[in-house]
Chains A and B, each alone.
Chain A
Amino acid sequence: MATTSSDQQSTVTDYNLPDDSGHFGPYGGIFVAETLMESIEELNEAYTKFIQDPEFLAELDADLHDYVGRPSPIYHAERLSRETGGAQIYLKREDLNHTGAHKVNNTIGQALLAKRMGKTRIIAETGAGQHGVATATVAARLGLECVVYMGAEDIKRQSPNVYRMKLLGAKVVAVTSGSQTLKDALNEALRDWVTNIDNTYYIIGTVAGPHPYPAMVRDFQTIIGRESRAQMLEKTGRLPDALVACVGGGSNAIGLFHPFIEDEDVAMYGVEAAGLGVETGKHSAPLCAGKPGVLHGNRTYLMADENGEIIETHSISAGLDYPGVGPEHSWLKDIGRADYVAINDDEALAAFHQLTRVEGIIPALESSHAVAYAVKLAKTLPADKNILVNLSGRGDKDIFTIAKLEGIEL
Chain B
Amino acid sequence: MSRLDACFKALAEQNQKALVPFVTAGDPNADFTLACMHNMVKAGANIIELGVPFSDPMADGPVIQKASERALEQGMSLKGVIEVVRQFREEDQVTPVILMGYLNPIEFMGYEAFAERAAEAGVDGVLTVDIPPEESAALLRAYDKYALAPIFLLSPTSNESRIKKVAAVAQGYIYYVSIKGVTGTGDLELSEVTDKLAEIKRHTSLPLAVGFGVKNANIAANIAKISDAVVVGSALINCITDNADDENKGQEAIAGLLAEMRTAMDAVTK
Contact = CB atoms under 8 A, between A and B. Distances in A.
Given A187-B56, A194-B181, A308 B105 contact: yes
Interface string A25-40: 0000111111101110
A22 to B, nearest CB: 9
B24 to A, nearest CB: 14
Given A187-B58, A295-B56, A307-B78, A35 B105 contact: no
B79 A307 contact: yes
B221 to A, nearest CB: 25
B106 A35 contact: no
A306 interface: yes
B166 A34 contact: yes
B134 interface: yes
Contacts of B56: 178, 183-184, 187, 295-296, 310
Interface of A: 21, 29-35, 37-39, 177-178, 183-184, 187, 190-191, 194-198, 292-297, 299, 302, 304, 306-311
A282 to B, nearest CB: 17
Given A178-B56, A190-B58, A308-B105, A195 B129 contact: no
Nearest to A191: B182
A32 B55 contact: no
A191 B58 contact: yes
Interface stretch (B34-42, B147-155, B228-236): B147-155
6 nearest A-B residue pairs (beta carbon): A308-B108, A308-B105, A195-B181, A307-B77, A34-B153, A38-B157
Contacts of B107: 292-294, 299, 308
A76 B156 CA distance: 56
B78 A34 contact: no
Contacts of A198: 180
Nearest to B156: A35
A294 B157 contact: no
A197 B155 CA distance: 12
A295 B108 CA distance: 12
A306 B157 contact: no
A39 B105 contact: no
Interface of B: 54-62, 65, 69, 72, 77-79, 102-109, 129-132, 134-135, 152-155, 157-159, 162, 166, 177, 180-182, 185-186
A337 B166 CA distance: 37
Q: Which of B62, B104, B166 has the most CB of A within 10 A?
A: B104
Nearest to A32: B130
A336 to B, nearest CB: 23
6 contacts: A191-B61, A195-B181, A198-B180, A295-B56, A307-B108, A309-B105
Contact of A302 (B61, B65, B104, B135): B104
A31 B155 contact: no
A32 B102 CA distance: 10
B108 A304 contact: yes
B162 A37 contact: yes
B157 A35 contact: yes
Contacts of A38: 157-159, 162
A235 to B, nearest CB: 44
Q: Which of B61, B102, B108, B152 has the most CB of A within 10 A?
A: B108
Contacts of A294: 102-104, 107, 130-131
Contacts of B105: 307-309
Given A21-B134, A178-B55, A308 B158 contact: no
A309 B155 contact: no
B180 A35 contact: yes
A308 B58 contact: no
Contacts of A310: 55-56, 104
Contacts of B131: 31, 294
Given A29-B134, A35-B177, A309-B54, 15 more contacts: A33-B58, A33-B130, A34-B152, A37-B132, A177-B62, A194-B180, A194-B181, A195-B182, A294-B104, A294-B130, A296-B56, A307-B78, A308-B108, A309-B105, A310-B104
B162 A293 contact: no
Contact of B129 (A29, A33, A197): A33
Contacts of A39: 157
A34 B177 contact: yes
B132 A293 contact: no
Given A38-B158, A304-B104, A195 B135 contact: no
A33 B55 contact: no
B158 A33 contact: no
A165 to B, nearest CB: 23
Contact of A30 (B104, B129, B134, B180): B134
B134 A296 contact: no
Contact of B132 (A30, A191, A196): A30
Given A194-B180, A194-B182, A30 B55 contact: no
A195 B58 contact: no
A291 to B, nearest CB: 8
Q: Which of B56, B60, B129 has the most CB of A within 10 A?
A: B56
A194 B59 contact: yes
B9 to A, nearest CB: 27
Contacts of A304: 104, 108
Contacts of A296: 56, 58
Nearest to B159: A38
A215 B79 CA distance: 35
A30 B135 CA distance: 7
Contact of B180 (A197, A292, A302, A306): A197
Contacts of B55: 178, 309-311
Contact of A293 (B62, B78, B104, B135): B104
Nearest to B66: A177
A328 B120 CA distance: 37
Contacts of B153: 33-35
Contacts of A311: 55
